[in-house]
Structure 1
Amino acid sequence: MPRLVDHDQRRAELGEAAIRVILREGLAGVTVRGVAAEAGWSTGSLRHYFGNQYELQAYVVQATTDTLRRRVLPRVQRPRTADSAVEGVATIVEEMLPLDAGRREEYALWAAVVEWERQHPPEGGSASWNDQRALHRQCVAALRGHETAREPGQAALPHPDAEVELWAALLHTFVDGLASQLMNTPGQVSAADAAQLLRSLLRAVPPAGSSPSAGSSPVGP
């Protein structure tokens, strides 16, 4: 009797092998030959699942996105106790920064997703970018004293408070830049520096009811 093959399991194994390749070589290393070698397969066996490199990379990028969500979302969503709203929000945002080995690995995976989206712009825009903007929107809304959205779809929509949208954009840009510095020039920016800079920006977010953009300058300690 022929042995039954679990094709979903085999595709998952290929996805895991490809992620290991990404961490060593980036998205460019995700080739049929390279992933087959990593998984211990022949190229012919891998082509049974993916007809060309585009199909392989598209599958791997989706698998990578799913992996990042499984890793990051539980950390972001876990209950927190903090002395202040700024501190509570800071501990959430720090989950997006490459402050340790695990989060540096996640950043490398995220960079591969971004590179794929740059090469193949998705309809409706970048899902990873939209996910991050929704998170930053929620964080700023909390700092402004608003209730956070109960449904993910609601968090993806522009907030009725224009200041939330402005500061969510500033926070998103800031976090991207800070993450890049932590990865690319780690000798110049320490984890402690990053923590201080992040909290400085968050303290500058003006509470609801104040004059627009009347918070303290986001520059400086």
Structure 2
Amino acid sequence: MKGFDPRTSFGYETSQNYDAHPLGDEEDTVGFLAGLADGGDALEFAVGTGRIALPLREAGVRVDGVELSQDMVDRMREKPGGDRIEVTMGDMSQVTTGRAYGLVYLVFNTIGNLLTQDDQVRCFENAARHLTDDGVFVIECRVPTAPARPDHRYVDVERLDVDGVGLGVGRYDPVTQVLDLNHIRLGADGLAFNPIRLRLAYPPEFDLMARIAGLRLRDRWGGWHGEPYTAASGRHISVYERARD
């Protein structure tokens, strides 16, 4: 995407509007993760504004975070309890907190923000470095649909209101597996753009990344309630553990 700058895609404006439209699965996500943490500590890669970390902390799990955007962390600090999350600033595929955790997690397609396969492998390796011997690494990610679109291009109607519409305009490169996506809002108050780039991968590729990092798949679900993962699933929640001899 010409002119895209990943350093500003989660800058001040995004941080101020990030929580305006909750996904609605926060409670389910927290319940699932709290069960896996089982009283131990957790680390969230790309902790952002604390959408998951803060309620998970309220559920009794001590949560640390890794985050690239200072603006997103500043927004979290403005929320009740936001000062209780210890955050290490930097790239989630590289930086370390110096601690080990029973749970490391990365939700809402965020591994796609790493735009090369090498960086995504390094993310798995970094997660493995932060795990206790019996710890687990959890990824939530949508199953890609862009590769199946005609000509790898599409326009989706994401919102349709009386006073405006929201469109998702995407273009997928099958060579790099990178999706250029712009969420466009047209309304009486003007025009707004929210561009993002994501490297898409299917679950078997993540499983291979895990093997490279010394991990293996323990469970895979189609939702936070333990729904079976099938060919019809729109997303997967994959749980990895250390590979055993």
Q: Same fold (TM over 0.5)?
A: no
Q: Which has the higher helix share?
A: 1
Greater fraction strand: 2
Alignment TM-score, normalising by the size of structure 1: 0.22
Please report the TM-score for the alignment, with normalisation by the length of structure 2: 0.21
State which structure, 1 or 2, has the greater radius of gyration over its C-alpha atoms: 1
